Amino acid sequence: MEKLIITAAICGAEVTKEQNPAVPYTVEEIVREAKSAVDAGAAIVHLHVREDDGTPTQSKARFKECIDAIYEVCPDVIIIPSTGGAVGMSAEERLQPTELFPEMATLDCGTCNFGDDVFENTMPMMRDFGKRMIENNIKPEYECFEMGHLDTVLKMAQKGQVPGAPMQFNFVLGVPGCTPATVQNLAWLVNSIPAGSTWTATGIGRHAFTLAAHAIAMGGNVRVGFEDNLNLEKGVPAKSNGELVAKVVRIAKELGREIATSAEAREILSLPPRKK
């Protein structure tokens, strides 16, 4: 099996300090959380950014400030900025980090319920996002919250509307209103991706570590972090993203999977080495 790539989704757009005081808002806090995750074994940071008061933003300037500051302390890490932003943001707003030409960015693969909200990703929006990523030479991480999202993006790839092979998928399972985080659902998704693709599993809330264990055993990759889960175990808030990553590292060690460095992750994901 390939080495395990761990992604840390350190911030998210919806979680707050009221839920866990370690959720980062300021640039300094974002850097602190990125470093804790990378030091613990994360090869990738999935990045959302906030105003200092916690308001989610897709500001290009704020992303640049945070990305530059993270590279100062973690020069090799792969940073995947979000183009999902927060529920209710416009497509133009969400696309801003693609103007920084990151090596990767998320591309959300369909509209879905998101708790009490609707996370909108219409076909015209997704075609715009795909076009931007082709133009700016950005490798998407295809975020699938629902089974049908995979079929949607595979058809778009066939039509050349989004970047094609080798594709990287992130199966985000257990969002309230979306596909549940079961091993059966994960297996169906993994069995449906084109040969040569890579994939990551993200279990939301209490499913974080069970889905991680399934993914590790199946040869896939894992995402954890405050965006997805705030607790180390039931009733025990994580003090940092690093604690969540360290738990995945422990599970992986028990199951015999080695952990990929960022440089190894670039090779696995067919990304060129980072120019510094």
Shortest CB 223 distance to ligand KMH, Å? 11
**Paired tokens of 66:** 């945070």
The sign of the CA dihedral 268, 77, 80, 131 is negative
Interface with ligand KMH, residue 102, by CB under 6 A: no
Residues between 137 and 166 that touch ligand KMH (CB under 6 A): 143
Do the beta carbons of residue 7 and residue 200 sit within 8 Å?
Answer: yes
Integer Cα distance of 5 and 30 in angstroms: 21
Residue 108 interacts, among ligand KMH, Zn ion, none and using kind-specific CB cut-offs from 5 to 8 Å, with: ligand KMH
Which of 14/267 has CB closer to ligand KMH?
14
Contact between 241 and Zn ion per CB under 5 A: no
Residue 76: CB atoms within 10 Å: 15
Using CB under 5 A as the binding rule, whether residue 170 contacts Zn ion is answered as no
CB of 85 to Zn ion, least distance (A): 8
Calculate Rg over the CA atoms of the chain: 17
DSSP 94-153: HHGGGGG--SEEEEE-S-EEETTEEE---HHHHHHHHHHHHHTT-EEEEEESSHHHHHHH
Whole-number minimum distance, CB 13 to ligand KMH, in Å? 4
Q: Does 82 bind Zn ion (CB under 5 A)?
A: yes
Query: Alpha carbon of 195 to those of 110, 144, 226: distances in Å?
Result: 22, 18, 31
Binding of ligand KMH by 228 (CB under 6 A): no
User: Per-residue x/- mask for ligand KMH, residues 56 to 85, rule CB under 6 A?
Assistant: --------------------------xxx-
Question: Footprint of ligand KMH on this chain (CB under 6 A)?
Answer: 13-14, 82-84, 86-87, 106, 108, 114, 119, 143
